[in-house]
């Protein structure tokens, strides 16, 4: 599935370059108009990221709940600064299909497992934001990518997949916002090591060729943000490309 991604800072659509809050691009497009465009072209699923919430959970975007409640013919998965059961309840009650958890799951794995058991694994996506170091080790980034941990992606997946987690969103930080192409080797590795996961690939997608390459390598879903916003290609073109592979 092709999943459009929309990120927010202070209520405006924005894209970061390699997760850097000091290197961002603001877009003038109204969020509702942008979502309407995706819907008109056939999109049935949107990925929303609250970058204020990622950086500081106390600044969670209230606009996200307004956006979600405005639509009833499309599903949303939402991430960014989600730290409490109240956060989850608010999102699920608003109609969110899946909640994306990253930092919290890494820092509090036992609590995350309790959430999986309470609300069902089907309602969560684990975000493993990944930094490939010089030793080619896959290290996880947290706190809106400001902190690179010593935690290895595979070890985290091994633990949570054992508890039934299925949906994984993997972003190669070095590719994010660059339009330089996705890290196919990274995604192949994850699919090989964890064949039961349903993988969402994010970071670097800048052309229809990139879309084809992901589908050819049996990646389940492609998260696309900047390429759509900058009209490198449309959602409809990406969807047709995905279906034709």
Contact 8, 229 (CB under 8 A): no
Q: Which of 50, 52, 87, 129 is catalytic?
A: 129
Q: Which of 7, 50, 87, 210 is catalytic?
A: 7
In 3D space, the residue among 4, 80, 11, 100 whose CA is nearest the CA of residue 47 turns out to be 4
Catalytic residue list contains 110: no
In 3D space, the residue among 152, 172, 167 whose CA is nearest the CA of residue 220 turns out to be 167
Catalytic residue list contains 7: yes
88-108 burial, b for 16+ CB within 10 Å, e for fewer?
Answer: bebbeeeebbbbbbbbbbbee
DSSP labels, 96-149: -SEEEE-HHHHH-HHHHHHHHHHH-GGGEEEEEEEEE-TT--EEEEETTTTEEE
Q: Tokens representing 6? A: 């929309």
∠ CA 80-222-235 to the nearest 5 degrees? Answer: 100
Helix (H, G, I), strand (E, B) or coil at 214: helix
Provide the annotated active-site residues.
Answer: 7, 129
């Amino acid at each position: 599935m092709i999943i459009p991604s929309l990120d927010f800072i202070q209520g405006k659509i924005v894209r970061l370059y390699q997760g850097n809050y000091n290197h961002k691009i603001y877009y003038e497009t109204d969020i509702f108009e942008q979502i309407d465009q995706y819907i008109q072209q056939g999109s049935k699923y949107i990925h929303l990221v609250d970058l204020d919430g990622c950086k500081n959970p106390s600044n969670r975007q209230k606009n996200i709940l307004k956006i979600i409640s405005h639509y009833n013919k499309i599903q949303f998965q939402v991430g960014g600064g989600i730290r409490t059961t109240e956060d989850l309840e608010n999102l699920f009650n608003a109609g969110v299909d899946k909640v994306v958890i990253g930092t919290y799951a890494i820092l509090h794995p036992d609590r995350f497992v309790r959430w999986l058991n309470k609300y069902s694994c089907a309602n969560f996506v684990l975000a493993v934001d990944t930094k490939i170091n010089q030793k080619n080790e896959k290290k996880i980034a947290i706190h809106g990518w400001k902190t690179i941990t010593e935690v290895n992606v595979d070890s985290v997946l091994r633990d949570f997949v054992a508890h039934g987690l299925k949906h994984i969103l993997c972003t190669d930080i070095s590719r994010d916002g660059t339009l330089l192409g996705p890290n196919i080797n990274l995604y192949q590795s994850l699919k090989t090591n964890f064949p039961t996961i349903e993988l969402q690939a994010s970071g670097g997608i800048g052309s229809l060729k990139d879309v084809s390459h992901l589908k050819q390598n049996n990646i389940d879903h492609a998260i696309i943000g900047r390429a759509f916003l900058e009209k490198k290609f449309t959602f409809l073109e990406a969807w047709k490309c995905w279906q034709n592979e």
